[in-house]
């Protein structure tokens, strides 16, 4: 691997912000900022159970995943029209551009919307239009991953897949999210087998709160290409070896793990341990409007808590491109841009962009 000469520690935050990166774990509904949520509630005549943006923000004090999900699903109730889905995704993509994200693999939760009577096409078309516009106007490549809600049934997941098939050209893969414990990956083995036949990319949340056994079954039964979160894997040495040998990327979300009390303090986070064990770790924001930060906030706060080096930074960015679902020629272009930024930074660590 390309060895990175040292960069002064006080320049690391700037390097982390400026380096090109891919974001691989972002729920688009989790990027809906309170201000936009209130604006949509007003224009759509939806009543939110909070009187103001401040009152809503004060409710963002979570004790675990479920306490967050309850508020997150309530917040999504303001999304009704195609333009709402476009506006939400466009706001995220502009924010991602500011953080030097070149590529985003974006999750969306159609069942949160179809259950309220919003048509699948309304959801997908709004999000897809924002992704297309991001490519031409922002230089950000963004593609969509449809997530099944794991607290719902297998039959509902199959039904959702069927509703999405007329839009097969607008999403590149499927994922699995929502309440993890009690809803193991194997519940969706037949759904994933069908998605595999359809040529979709496969990912799943596993080992966020759930045990290493869920990471094993996501790999062996669902046959996923990446694991979302996966931080509980460090409890199982044989699993660590498997993830390393097969170069299975983990899309880790430090501020999410902090806010949902997966780790008591950011200083206790195991991301650096996973990275130094040789795993293909990446840094992501998960639900940035709810967890207090976008991708660069995750990088910088993690660095402040555990002390990353320039070598760690390079490896994390490189992993993000290699693990993305971009075509090989684009991945190569992203890595060239990454190398160019590091080379410039080494020549002039005090430096201007
Ligand atoms: O971190 C998460 N875990 C599970 N489901 C989710 N839905 C949005 N964010 C998450
Ligand atoms: Zn997530």
The end-to-end CA distance of the chain, in Å, is: 25
Rounded distance from Cα 54 to ligand 1 centre (Å) = 23
Residue among 24, 30, 206 whose CB has most ligand 1 atoms within 8 A, to mutate: 30
Which CATH number is 305's domain given? Answer: 3.20.20.140
Let me know: does 224 contact 201? Beta carbons within 8 Å: no
Residues near 121 by beta carbon (within 8 Å), at least 6 away in sequence? 166, 167
Distance CA 313, CA 302 (A): 11
Residues near 54 by beta carbon (within 8 Å), at least 6 away in sequence? none
Q: In the chain, how many domains are there? A: 1
Counting residues of the chain whose pLDDT is more than 90, the rounded percentage is 95
Let me know: does 28 contact 107? Beta carbons within 8 Å: yes
Q: Select which of 180, 208, 225, 276 is catalytic.
A: 208
- pLDDT tens track for 110-169: 999 999 999 999 999 999 999 999 999 999 999 999 999 999 999 999 999 999 999 999
Distance CA 125, CA 186 (A): 30
- Ligand 1 atom closest to Cα of 260? 1
Q: Is the pLDDT of residue 284 over 60?
A: yes
Task: Provide the pLDDT confidence category of residue 272 given band limits of 50, 70 and 90.
Answer: very high
Predicted TM-score (pTM) of the model is 0.97
Residue 1 in any domain: the answer is no
Residue 223 in any domain: the answer is yes
Residue 6 in any domain: the answer is no
Q: Is ipTM beyond 0.85?
A: yes
Residue 153 in any domain: the answer is yes
C-beta of 30 in contact with ligand 1 (< 6 A): yes
Rounded distance from Cα 2 to ligand 2 centre (Å) = 31
C-beta of 286 in contact with ligand 1 (< 6 A): yes
C-beta of 65 in contact with ligand 1 (< 6 A): yes
| Domain containing residue 157 | 15-347
Q: Which long-range contacts (CB under 8 A, 24 or more apart) does 152-161 make?
A: 152/111, 152/178, 154/187, 154/188, 154/190, 154/191, 156/111, 157/188, 157/191, 158/190, 158/191, 158/194, 160/110, 160/111, 160/114, 160/120, 161/191, 161/194, 161/195
Among the residues of 6-63, which ranges form H helices? 12-18, 34-44, 53-58
Q: Is the pLDDT of residue 8 over 90?
A: no
Residue 72 in any domain: the answer is yes
Catalytic residue status for 35: no
Helix 82-98 vs helix 34-44: crossing angle, to nearest 10: 160
Q: How far is CA 98 from each of CA 18, 139, 168, 251, rounded to the nearest angstrom?
A: 9, 11, 30, 21
What's residue 7's pLDDT? Answer: 84
Mean pLDDT of all residues in 70-96: 98
Residue 287, marked binder: yes
Residue 4 in any domain: the answer is no
Residue 352 in any domain: the answer is no
Mean pLDDT of all residues in 6-20: 92
What's residue 290's pLDDT? Answer: 98
Residue 9 in any domain: the answer is no
């Amino acid at each position: 691997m390309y060895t990175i000469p040292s960069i002064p520690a006080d320049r690391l935050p700037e390097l982390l912000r400026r380096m090109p990166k891919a974001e691989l774990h972002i729920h688009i509904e989790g990027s809906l900022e309170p201000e936009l949520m209130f604006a949509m509630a007003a224009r759509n005549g939806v009543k939110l159970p909070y009187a103001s943006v401040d009152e809503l923000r004060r409710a963002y004090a979570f004790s675990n995943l479920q306490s967050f999900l309850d508020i997150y699903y309530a917040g999504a109730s303001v999304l009704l029209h195609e333009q709402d889905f476009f506006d939400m995704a466009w706001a995220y993509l502009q924010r991602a551009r500011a953080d030097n994200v070149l590529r985003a693999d974006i999750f969306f939760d159609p069942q949160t919307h179809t259950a309220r009577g919003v048509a699948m096409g309304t959801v997908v078309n709004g999000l897809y239009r924002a992704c297309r516009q991001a490519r031409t106007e922002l230089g950000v490549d963004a593609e969509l991953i449809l997530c099944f809600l794991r607290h719902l049934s297998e039959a509902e997941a199959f039904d959702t897949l069927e509703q999405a098939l007329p839009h097969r050209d607008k999403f590149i893969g499927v994922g699995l999210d929502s309440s993890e414990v009690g809803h193991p990956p194997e519940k969706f083995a037949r759904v994933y087998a069908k998605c595999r036949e359809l040529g979709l990319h496969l990912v799943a949340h596993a080992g966020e709160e759930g045990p290493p056994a869920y990471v094993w079954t996501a790999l062996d039964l669902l046959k996923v290409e990446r694991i979302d979160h996966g931080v509980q894997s460090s409890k199982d040495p044989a699993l660590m070896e498997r993830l390393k040998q097969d170069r299975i990327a983990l899309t880790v979300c430090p501020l999410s793990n902090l806010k949902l009390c997966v780790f008591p303090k950011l200083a206790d986070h195991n991301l650096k341990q996973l990275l130094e064990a040789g795993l293909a770790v990446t840094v992501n924001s998960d639900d940035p409007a709810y967890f207090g930060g976008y991708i660069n906030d995750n990088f910088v706060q993690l660095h402040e808590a555990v002390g990353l080096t320039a070598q760690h930074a390079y490896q994390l960015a490189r992993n993000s491109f290699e693990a993305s679902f971009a075509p090989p020629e684009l991945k190569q272009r992203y890595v060239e841009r990454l190398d160019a930024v590091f080379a410039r930074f080494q020549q002039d660590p005090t430096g201007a962009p």
